[in-house]
Each structure stands twice: as C-alpha cells, then as structure tokens.
C-alpha cells in the first residue's frame, strides 16, 4: 500500500465536528494522538525500566497508526498527496545528510 492509497482509504472513515473547520479538528487530533504515543513510551520507562514488552509494542503500533491517520487526513484537507509529502521529506533529509547538517539547528538548513 502506498501512502496515497492509505490516504484515500482513510478518508472514508473521517468524521469531523460541525463546530470547527476540519483542519482544526485534525490538528487537535494529531496533537492528542502524539501525546498518546508519548504516554505509552513514558509507561515503558516508568513501569518496565525502558524495556518494551510485546504488549507495549502492540499498543505503540496502534497509537502510531492513529497518528498516521491524522497526518493522512490533514494532508487530505490541505490538498497534499502523502506520497509527495514523504518524497519531499526524504529529499530534505538526504540533502542534509549529504551536506553533513543532519544534527544542526533550524528548519531550513
Ligand atoms: Mg489513540
């Protein structure tokens, strides 16, 4: 499955609030699901000394999937192709690596 295929399939499950524009709802959801990922990671540290159990990994996979859903639908609402977003990101990172500025500061280095 490509990112674009996932984006299209996921669109059929989108339901938004009538009180805010979809992009606002999606931004709130993305922040919430990102927090859920971080919370699961915190619990791995707190409850299992940083060792990932099989159950913790399964739960993290689910939460990362939730993040992916919100990213895909934010792309949809903004008129972006997820394949294109991934291609642009990869090109940026490859360029930074080639120029040896992966660990430097600033978004547009
Ligand atoms: Mg979740």
Q: Can you give the CATH number for the domain in which 13 is found?
A: 1.10.287
Give me the pLDDT at residue 104, please: 75
CA of 67 to the centre of ligand 1 (A): 8
**Domain with 42 in it:** 3-81
Tell me, yes or no, whether 8 lies in a domain.
yes
How many domains does the chain fold into?
1
CA of 103 to the centre of ligand 1 (A): 30
CA of 80 to the centre of ligand 1 (A): 23
CA of 11 to the centre of ligand 1 (A): 17
CA of 95 to the centre of ligand 1 (A): 33
Low-confidence ranges of the chain (pLDDT < 70): none
How many angstroms separate the CA atoms of 93 and 33, rounded?
A: 25
- Tens-digit pLDDT profile for residues 63-73: 999 999 999 99
- Tens-digit pLDDT profile for residues 35-47: 999 999 999 999 9
Tell me, yes or no, whether 44 lies in a domain.
yes
Tell me, yes or no, whether 96 lies in a domain.
no
Tell me, yes or no, whether 60 lies in a domain.
yes
* 98 contact partners, CB below 8 Å, separation of at least 6: none
């Amino acid at each position: 499955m490509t990112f674009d295929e996932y984006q299209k399939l996921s669109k059929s499950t989108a339901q938004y609030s009538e009180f805010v524009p979809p992009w606002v709802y999606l931004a709130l959801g993305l922040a919430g699901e990102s927090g859920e990922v971080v919370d699961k990671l915190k619990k791995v540290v707190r409850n299992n000394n940083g060792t990932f159990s099989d159950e913790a990994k399964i739960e993290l996979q689910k939460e990362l999937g939730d993040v992916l859903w919100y990213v895909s639908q934010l792309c949809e609402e903004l008129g972006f192709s997820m394949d294109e977003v991934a291609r642009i990101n990869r090109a940026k990172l490859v360029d930074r690596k080639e120029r040896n500025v992966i660990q430097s500061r600033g978004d547009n280095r």
